[in-house]
A and B are shown apart, each in its own frame.
Chain A
Amino acid sequence: MASASRSTNREPAFLLTPGLFFLIIAFFFPTFLLLAQSVLTVGPDAGELTLEHYQKAFADSFYAGVAFRTLRLALLITLICLLIGFPLAIIISRASRIVRSLLILMIVLPLMTSVVIRTFGWLVILGQGGVLSWVLQALGLVDGTVSLMRTEAGIVIAMVQVLLPFMVLTTLGNLNQMSPSLEEAARVMGAGFFRSIWHVTLPMSAPGLASGAVLVFALSISSFITPSLVGGVRLPVIASSIYQQMTGSFDWGFGAALSVLLLGATLVLMVPYLIATGRLGGRS
């Protein structure tokens, strides 16, 4: 990118303006309108500045616990996506053309199934006396039925399935740029298979893995339909609590406060990461 056009600053400004203008009007303005409610009173003296909604979030340890679960699950989901996504991307990048197309198809298919219906699939598999329970029993691994519905494990299983494509596709982008001769060279020089993966392939795909991880983390922290359908109401995450405040308790001020806190936490966790990614992403 160092050799990218040395043009006047007019050109990028011209290119960015429509999108930026659109986002300001259609995204930042509405979002701000709603988030502003987190510092406004409701009721008879509506519109005054207040911190009561934030105090409510910190009144006891409940929401801290919910936030902790949210972050823990998001990190776990991201980690699993990395662990599965990286080898899978390597395999896909080296497969023959037809196999590669089939594997990519397999990866993106879950994205296209309506989330409610996909969850029904998980209910059948993970639920009481479901497919998984049956398989485990047949293998003699468990006695009696097991159910992973309404467990954190169930949430992770269902979330990884939909988020894996994002990890695999971003990593694949990097791997495709990589010349296989590099790795072969390492191998010729006497590096073993795993050593060449570790020393050559991994660093080359780091930018893709990093941006995939950011995407997966952000998406898992802000999604609520799958966690609430698979995990149920007894395992609330922040996004489902926000949904509950907005449409169940109708406490928009509090819901907005929770959103601001979620956004803050995400930014604190992701900014160092984004900076690092930015550095990795720039090609020399």
Chain B
Amino acid sequence: MTAATPGFVKLLSITFVLAIAVYMLVPLIVVIASSLSTSQFLVFPPPGFSLRWYTEVFNSDAYLSAGWTSLKLALFTVAASVALGTPAAIALSRFRFPGRSFLSAIFLSPLLLPSLIFAIGLLIVFSRYGDGPSLTGLVIGHTVITLPYVIRTVSANLIDMDPHLDEAARIMGARWWQRYLLVILPQCRTGMAAGAFFAFNISFDDAVIALFMRAPNVETLPMRIYSTLEFSPDPSVAAVSTIMILLTIFMVLLLDRIFGLSKIA
């Protein structure tokens, strides 16, 4: 805070931030507390504390393989989404050409429809023109819904950057691949990282596309959570969620280490 900030504003800010912190974190604390429960079912407050649900999760082949499937799915999605989204974002934020805002809108359009409409459509396409749903189908579906986020974060990042660098490189006679590899892509780095973070989270948490693109031997973690809740709702799902929360904290800290969080937006 700058020195000119009045004292009462500082006090107000601190109160405000604390209130928001309570609002954002209390539901998560409830989940974490429930995961440590001795109870057979999801209930709050927990009657006693134990780690039995963590043991259960780590001993469950179903959870582990679902976690592995989700991880693979999220990584492929991140790769595809960043690979397709970054060039599009560069074009949309670095060049002026007719129809630019129309194309921006096109690239953001997957956000506008409930994803289940797209999910059923994708299922029809895969069944009619392919071999039915598969992990590949899920990767394609998730790439569609995460693409807008990557484009947005990379664009926001590029607006921040100095376009003269690229121009200088061009004037100095850099070949196109040299310009991209040495000038433009390094400038997109933080945007790509932020986009990848969003894409990873969205793919990892999606239960809508996964609901319709169900295939043999492809069970993602959210699907596993759903079916567990349906038939034997126990705190193991809270334990899985807690593990995911810890994973997020780790990822955010990692991003902070590498890129500095202040730049990610």
**A and B touch in their complex, CB below 8 angstroms:** yes
What's the least CB distance linking B175 to chain A, in Å? 13
* A141 contacts partner chain B, Cβ-Cβ < 8 Å: no
Contacts of B156 on A, CB cut-off 8 Å?
Answer: 170, 173
Known contacts: A18-B87, A246-B120. The answer to whether A112 contacts B26 by CB under 8 A is: no
Could you tell me how many residues of chain A have their Cβ less than 8 Å away from some Cβ of chain B?
A: 100
Q: What 1/0 flags go to B1-29 for Cβ under 8 Å of A?
A: 11011100100010011001101111110
A5 touches B114 (CB 8 A): no
* A233 contacts partner chain B, Cβ-Cβ < 8 Å: no
Which of A39-47, A59-67, A101-109 is near enough to bind chain B? A101-109
* A32 contacts partner chain B, Cβ-Cβ < 8 Å: yes
Known contacts: A122-B27, A164-B24, A211-B152. The answer to whether A16 contacts B88 by CB under 8 A is: yes
Contacts of A203 on B, CB cut-off 8 Å?
Answer: none
* B262 contacts partner chain A, Cβ-Cβ < 8 Å: yes
| Residues A109-163 near B (CB distance < 8 A) | 109-118, 120-122, 124-125, 131, 161
What's the least CB distance linking A233 to chain B, in Å? 17
- Name the residue on B nearest A243 (C-beta): B116
| Residues B228-258 near A (CB distance < 8 A) | 229, 237-238, 240-241, 244-245, 247-249, 252-253, 256
B93 touches A113 (CB 8 A): no
A117 touches B95 (CB 8 A): no
The number of residue pairs between A and B whose CB atoms lie closer than 8 Å in the complex comes to: 282
What's the least CB distance linking A227 to chain B, in Å? 11
Residue of A18, A20, A112 contacting most chain B CB atoms (<10 Å): A112
A218 touches B112 (CB 8 A): yes
Q: What 1/0 flags go to B152-192 for Cβ under 8 Å of A?
A: 10001101100110110010000010000000000000000
Which of B47-55, B56-64, B98-106 is near enough to bind chain A? B98-106
- Name the residue on B nearest A255 (C-beta): B117
B262 touches A222 (CB 8 A): no
Known contacts: A118-B31, A122-B27, A278-B104. The answer to whether A263 contacts B112 by CB under 8 A is: yes
Q: What 1/0 flags go to A255-282 for Cβ under 8 Å of B?
A: 1100100110011001000110010010
Contacts of B6 on A, CB cut-off 8 Å?
Answer: 193
Bound: A215/B103 CA distance, A: 17
What's the least CB distance linking A94 to chain B, in Å? 5
* A77 contacts partner chain B, Cβ-Cβ < 8 Å: no
Contacts of B121 on A, CB cut-off 8 Å?
Answer: 29-35
B205 touches A1 (CB 8 A): no
Q: What 1/0 flags go to B74-99 for Cβ under 8 Å of A?
A: 00000000011101101111111100
Contacts of A97 on B, CB cut-off 8 Å?
Answer: 262
Bound: A162/B232 CA distance, A: 27
* A71 contacts partner chain B, Cβ-Cβ < 8 Å: no
Bound: A217/B156 CA distance, A: 19
What's the least CB distance linking A255 to chain B, in Å? 8
What's the least CB distance linking A62 to chain B, in Å? 19
A193 touches B9 (CB 8 A): yes
Residue of A19, A27, A30, A177 contacting most chain B CB atoms (<10 Å): A19
Bound: A13/B144 CA distance, A: 20
* B71 contacts partner chain A, Cβ-Cβ < 8 Å: no
Bound: A111/B201 CA distance, A: 7
Name 15 interchain pairs, CB-CB below 8 A, sorted by A: A3-B164, A3-B167, A16-B92, A18-B87, A106-B25, A110-B24, A114-B205, A115-B205, A118-B241, A121-B27, A131-B26, A172-B265, A193-B4, A193-B9, A283-B159
Known: A106-B25, A171-B265. 6 other contacts (CB 8 A): A19-B88, A23-B106, A94-B1, A112-B245, A116-B225, A283-B159
Interface residues of A (CB under 8 A from B): 1, 3-5, 7, 9, 11-16, 18-20, 22-23, 26-27, 29-35, 84, 87-88, 91, 93-95, 97, 100-101, 103-118, 120-122, 124-125, 131, 161, 164, 169-173, 176-177, 180, 183-184, 187, 193, 208, 211, 215, 218-219, 221-225, 239, 242-243, 246, 252, 255-256, 259, 262-263, 266-267, 270, 274-275, 278, 281, 283
